[in-house]
């Protein structure tokens, strides 16, 4: 079976969308790559992503190709009460199909957005939600240029139709939403693992300090720990620091011995 250039590009884009489990992951770069893939696969003029959290507009990412235009068309949608295809798609959780900019302008739909889009020579737009199951993360907005006058060069793949373009963009958006979700879980698990490791290290040091002091003073470990805690309080030193320094042997020995438990 022969795969078309578009099918190969889509497969590569979906594979890249899953590659998010990295300590060096950069959200802006990741979403820009998604926008770039979308522009290439559907033959768009440009594309951009609006990320939303907590019902508030958070950030924008534009495709590398004509990035300034994409960012301008995203930014105008973020202004209070301006609206636009991105916000409509995010608000409903459904795609906004191809909308001719001229028709939207005539119908007074998104007036500020359509005025800006016409200024940039955009002929149509559509948007799809970035959705992970029931969780909405934002929207992918695609900007379509007028059809070219001369025929396409031989060998260049024909641009997909309007419905197919929306389906392809939705596939990319859902793959990206899954990738972002997995990356967020990865970061949370790493943070939790770090906290658990820190707690374990602290516990091991605590037991070491108690054992060392109990042996030195020939007393119980609970009495040794109470003495170390009194010393830390008197010196206005965090207990964690006192424990670490007790293990290292860098605490003031005379000061610490002054807190040693007295025989009953």
Count of CB atoms within 10 A of residue 5's CB? 12
pLDDT reported for residue 2:
46
pLDDT reported for residue 55:
64
Q: How far apart are the first and last CA of the chain?
A: 89
Question: Which runs of E-coded beta strand occur in the chain?
Answer: 46-53, 56-62, 96-100, 124-132, 135-144
Name the strand (E) or helix (H) holding 246.
helix 239-248
Using the predicted structure, report yes or no on whether residue 184 has a pLDDT greater than 60.
yes
pLDDT reported for residue 236:
87
Rounded CA separation 246/125 (Å): 67
Rounded CA separation 50/138 (Å): 5
pLDDT reported for residue 83:
84
Using the predicted structure, report yes or no on whether residue 221 has a pLDDT greater than 60.
yes
Q: Read off φ and ψ for residue 155, nearest 5 degrees.
A: 90, -15
Rounded average pLDDT over 71-78: 92
pLDDT reported for residue 116:
94
pLDDT reported for residue 78:
83
pLDDT reported for residue 115:
94
Rounded average pLDDT over 122-135: 90
Give the model's confidence band at 143: pLDDT under 50 very low, under 70 low, under 90 confident, else very high. very high
């Amino acid at each position: 079976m022969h795969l078309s250039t578009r099918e190969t590009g889509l497969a590569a884009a979906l594979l890249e969308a899953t590659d998010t489990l990295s300590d060096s992951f950069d959200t802006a770069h990741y979403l820009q790559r998604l926008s770039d893939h979308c522009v290439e696969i559907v033959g768009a003029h440009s594309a951009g992503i609006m990320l939303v959290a907590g019902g508030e507009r958070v950030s924008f990412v534009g495709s590398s190709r004509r990035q300034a235009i994409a960012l301008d068309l995203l930014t105008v949608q973020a202004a209070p009460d301006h609206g636009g295809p991105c916000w409509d798609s995010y608000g409903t959780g459904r795609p906004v199909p191809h909308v001719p900019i001229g028709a939207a302008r005539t119908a007074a739909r998104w007036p500020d957005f359509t005025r800006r889009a016409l200024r940039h020579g955009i002929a149509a737009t559509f948007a799809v939600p970035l959705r992970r199951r029931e969780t909405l993360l934002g929207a992918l907005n695609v900007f379509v240029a007028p059809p070219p006058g001369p025929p396409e060069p031989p060998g260049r793949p024909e641009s997909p139709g309007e419905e197919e373009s929306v389906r392809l963009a939705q596939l990319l958006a859902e793959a990206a939403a899954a990738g972002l979700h997995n990356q967020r879980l990865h970061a949370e698990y790493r943070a939790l693992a770090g906290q658990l490791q820190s707690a374990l290290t602290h516990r091991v040091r605590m037991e070491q300090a108690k054992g060392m002091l109990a042996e030195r003073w020939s007393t119980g470990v609970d009495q040794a720990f109470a003495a170390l805690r009194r010393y830390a309080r008197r010196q206005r030193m965090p207990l964690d620091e006192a424990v670490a320094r007790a293990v290292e042997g860098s605490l003031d020995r005379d000061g610490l011995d002054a807190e040693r438990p007295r025989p009953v």
